[in-house]
A and B are shown apart, each in its own frame.
Chain A
Amino acid sequence: GEDVEQSLFLSVREGDSSVINCTYTDSSSTYLYWYKQEPGAGLQLLTYIFSNMDMKQDQRLTVLLNKKDKHLSLRIADTQTGDSAIYFCAESSGTYKYIFGTGTRLKVLA
């Protein structure tokens, strides 16, 4: 079945850029999403990209999509301690059902 994979941990220094990676297997993926989860909270939608796009930028966030390799990345510029959280990627094949990755825990060191 469809699968979405992410590395479990990432540690960066405050002020550096963070790059969180995600790979997926469903070639019919239409939308890909990034969510942020802070401790004890629900998931907050950060951004999403349509499969016919290569890149999307939103303030400090840049999403890159390589559809050929089924690879999605989220770059956070000027990472702050408030960015420490778990980041989930998810994909949808044009329906309301998502497949989520296992999440990447980002730790920002002061």
Chain B
Amino acid sequence: DAGITQSPRHKVTETGTPVTLRCHQTENHRYMYWYRQDPGHGLRLIHYSYGVKDTDKGEVSDGYSVSRSKTEDFLLTLESATSSQTSVYFCAISDSAISYEQYFGPGTRLTVT
């Protein structure tokens, strides 16, 4: 399995509080992604990174920001959490310039009350 960890694995927070989720990889892969998974929607891309300090928005980026100061770490921040951001968040990494396959972390279940 690809060396990807996510922390925390579970979090309950209150509406309006800031939350930061961390993704850490030991594979030295260039690309890193944050997705959210919701019933009926599959996985939707929030933000992705194509290198240190290089990030771009995905299809559901509103209310989220990201940072990548080191190759191995990709942080997802909810500046002011809302109940609509209750979801399971997955980090993924990729480095293949041939088949673009992505490898996923174990996920973080976030509940905003």
List A residues at the B interface (Cβ < 8 Å).
4, 31, 33, 35, 40-45, 48, 50, 88, 90, 92, 94-98, 100-103
Q: How far, in whole Å, are A92 and B45 apart by their CA atoms in the complex?
A: 13
> Number of B residues whose C-beta is below 8 Å from A?
24
- The stretch among B60-68, B76-84, B95-103 that forms the contact with chain A is B95-103
Contact of A42 with B42 at beta-carbon distance under 8 Å, contacts A50-B99, A96-B50, A96-B94 already known:
no
Which residues on B sit within 8 Å (CB–CB) of A48?
99, 101
CB <8 Å contact, A42 and B100: no
**Chain A: minimal CB distance from B77 (Å):** 21
**Chain A: minimal CB distance from B4 (Å):** 8
CB <8 Å contact, B102 and A100: no
Q: Residue on A with the closest CB to B101? A: A45
From the candidates B42, B50, B101, B107, name the one contacting A88 in the complex (CB within 8 A): B42
Which residues on A sit within 8 Å (CB–CB) of B12?
none
CB <8 Å contact, A31 and B42: no
From the candidates A4, A45, A103, name the one contacting B102 in the complex (CB within 8 A): A45
Main secondary structure of the interface of B (DSSP, over half): strand
CB <8 Å contact, A96 and B48: yes
From the candidates A42, A50, A96, A102, name the one contacting B90 in the complex (CB within 8 A): A42
Which residues on B sit within 8 Å (CB–CB) of A40?
107
Contact of A100 with B100 at beta-carbon distance under 8 Å, contacts A41-B107, A42-B106 already known:
no
Contact of A31 with B99 at beta-carbon distance under 8 Å, contacts A96-B48, A102-B41 already known:
yes
CB <8 Å contact, B100 and A94: yes
Contact of A98 with B106 at beta-carbon distance under 8 Å, contacts A33-B101, A50-B99 already known:
no
**Chain A: minimal CB distance from B43 (Å):** 4
Contact of A103 with B101 at beta-carbon distance under 8 Å, contacts A42-B90, A42-B107 already known:
no
